Structure 1
Amino acid sequence: MYQIVQDKLHNVLNARARLGEGPIWDDNDKLLYWVDIYNHRVHQFHPASGKNVFFDVGDVVGAIAKAGKNQLIIAQRHRLAFLDTETGIVTPIVEIETDLPDNRFNDAKCDPQGRFWFGSMSSSGKAQSSLYRYDFDGSLHVMETGLTVSNGLGWSPNHETFYLTDSPQQKIYAYDFDTATGNISNRRIFVDLTGESFFPDGLTIDSQGYIWSAMWNGWCVIRFSPEGKEIFRLQLSVPLVTSCTFGGEDLQTLYITTASIGLKQEDIEKSFDSGDLFAFDTDVTGLLTYDFNLSRKV
């Protein structure tokens, strides 16, 4: 059942992004980073002033994570790189999946110990995508294979469960997670949306362990209980809802990215705010975004 709470939902940035994605909250500087994948941009949004600046990183950028002061780690088409947010300089780290021209990297997050998890997606529709883990020592690990679009991922508050989305399959999976080793096991279906007209995209998790999943072509964000039961749907004015994360002074603001790519003129007229950045005032607290840094203790 939809819950329409327009007094708590705000369009905070008229971005008109082609494919807004990957929002992360910087709690030190009180700002939101997010990406516009096909415009090759990493954005920096300052809620206090409403100011938004961006860096052109020269190629598609699927996801980002903080990696120390004034630095992000970014997942691009076939590589990982560092972005200096003072100079805008992009420094390549490693190239991956260069033998799969139909693939590009997509959603990503750091785990509680600072390891960078990122997945690929295939434009061919084939199940030839994978999930990777890049450790601070430079080692690269294949964590899952046979995916179509590796998407929304995250960890439960007690760090015992890992979640991973395969959008075209309309499923969110849960795994057992070993914090010390970074290994995942015992995959099972957490949410199955087979038969729906929309697709689960990016997700975030609140401090109660509830999962907030953005729905591509669904005009909404759905909140699921730790048991996978739908609690409510937050309706938006745009169809292509891509991802979300908690931020703000008290971590109770849900920032939501959206897209305009592929919409026809009549669709845009019905959803003029497509590609904009939204904020929803919740009554729950989110979790801090983990940085790429193994010095973080669990």
Structure 2
Amino acid sequence: MTEIRIVDTAGVRDQLGEGLLWSARDGVLYWTDIIGKALNRLSLASGTVDRIAMPEMIGWVIERDSGGLIAGMQTGFHAVTLDPLAIVPMLDPEPDLPENRLNDAKADAEGRIYAGTMPLSCDVPSGALYRLDPDGTLHTLERDIIIANGPAISPDGATFYHTDTGRNAIYRYDRAADGSLSGRALFIDFDRDWGSPDGMTTDAEGHLWVAHWGGSRISRFAPDGSHQRSIALPASQITNIAFAGPDLDRMFVTSAADGVPGEADAGRLFEVLDPGVRGLRPGVYAG
């Protein structure tokens, strides 16, 4: 059985942990607490964890080529620098939908960001999937989404995966060199006994790793959609997965404590020891 380590975060549990990102530049693992309005930072060298308060809900951060980070918050895309903290609004994709927020995102190898939105109520299809190009142009790729989640891209960049957690479905797209998507098809119809699909990442072998919200595990799926393996975790609401470290051979997983007060390890950050596979280098926003 795969061994799981609970990362020491000085007793702090995330109400809704999400947005894992390995930064080789900073030598740290970032992740967010959406409901707790915080950005967490773990130094892999020292084990030190910092928790940085944010002014509003924050779903994710992505490195920026020009320095600092891009963050997805309730009111849209923001430029963020740390030490000292500075937050500058960039673009609100949905100014007419104040009850929506950005939820999850990934950058591709060309420096574009794919980011999805969702309603705070989690129950109406007011969400969408967007692509933010390096020149600041925003493209709407999909609408009618309940909970946009877990974008992931294959190693060759030709396949894009996206989840609607509210519909328990993971979709597969063909991705062109210009970043456009086509040929949407249902990739995995998540069985209700598995929970719901949440955050995702792809590994260096082109397999898709999926976090099970309400399912107490993460799973690996082959490019043809077949289930390869699952790893059990000591919390039910598993939210996101990322590979980290200089060799991208360390795997971290976030979880949520909100709504499950009886779970001792809910909201913890977990490390899957010896996952047996390496990840892909995270994309950096080129804008």
Which TM class, normalised by the smaller chain length?
Answer: over 0.9
**Counterparts of 1:124 and 1:231, CA distance in 2:** 30
Q: Secondary structure at the match of 1:39?
A: coil
Between Structure 1 and Structure 2, how many residues are aligned? 283
Q: 1:102 to 1:197 in 2, by over 3 A?
A: farther
Q: 2:214 aligns with which of 217, 227, 236?
A: 217
Displacement after TM superposition at 1:70 (Å): 4.8
Q: 1:277 aligns with which of 269, 284, 287?
A: 269
TM-score under structure 2 length normalisation: 0.95
**Counterparts of 1:173 and 1:61, CA distance in 2:** 24
Q: Secondary structure at the match of 1:196?
A: helix
Q: Percent identity?
A: 33
Q: 1:138 aligns with which of 136, 139, 142?
A: 136
Any idea what the Cα deviations from partners look like across 1:195-230, whole Å, max 9, x if unmatched?
A: 335000001100000111000010000110111111
Tell me, yes or no, if the aligned pair for 1:84 and 1:90 is still in contact at 8 Å: yes
**Counterparts of 2:141 and 2:173, CA distance in 1:** 11
Displacement after TM superposition at 1:86 (Å): 2.4
Any idea what the Cα deviations from partners look like across 1:51-75, whole Å, max 9, x if unmatched?
A: 0113222000011100136511001
Tell me, yes or no, if the aligned pair for 1:37 and 1:61 is still in contact at 8 Å: yes
Aligned alpha-carbon RMSD (Å): 1.4
**Counterparts of 1:158 and 1:78, CA distance in 2:** 32
Matched, 1:43 2:40: yes
Displacement after TM superposition at 1:96 (Å): 2.5
Q: 2:247 aligns with which of 213, 231, 250?
A: 250
Q: 1:290 aligns with which of 259, 271, 283?
A: 283
Tell me, yes or no, if the aligned pair for 1:57 and 1:90 is still in contact at 8 Å: no
* Paired position in structure 2 for 1:73: 70
Matches within 5 A, 1:36-185: 36-68=33-65, 70-122=67-119, 123=121, 125-179=123-177, 181-185=178-182
Write the letter of the residue equivalent to 2:5: H
Structure 2 unaligned segments of length 5 or more: list them.
none
Write the letter of the residue equivalent to 2:279: G
The ranges of structure 1 where at least 4 consecutive aligned residues each deviate by more than 3 angstroms after the TM superposition are: none
Write the letter of the residue equivalent to 2:142: E
Any idea what the Cα deviations from partners look like across 1:4-30, whole Å, max 9, x if unmatched?
A: 322xx2112333111110101012332
Displacement after TM superposition at 1:127 (Å): 1.2
Tell me, yes or no, if the aligned pair for 1:70 and 1:85 is still in contact at 8 Å: no
Q: Secondary structure at the match of 1:126?
A: coil
* Paired position in structure 2 for 1:195: 192
Q: 1:12 aligns with which of 7, 12, 17?
A: 7
Displacement after TM superposition at 1:194 (Å): 3.9
Between 1:48-57 and 1:15-24, the stretch displaced more is 48-57
Structure 1 unaligned segments of length 5 or more: list them.
none
Write the letter of the residue equivalent to 1:56: A
Tell me, yes or no, if the aligned pair for 2:122 and 2:147 is still in contact at 8 Å: no
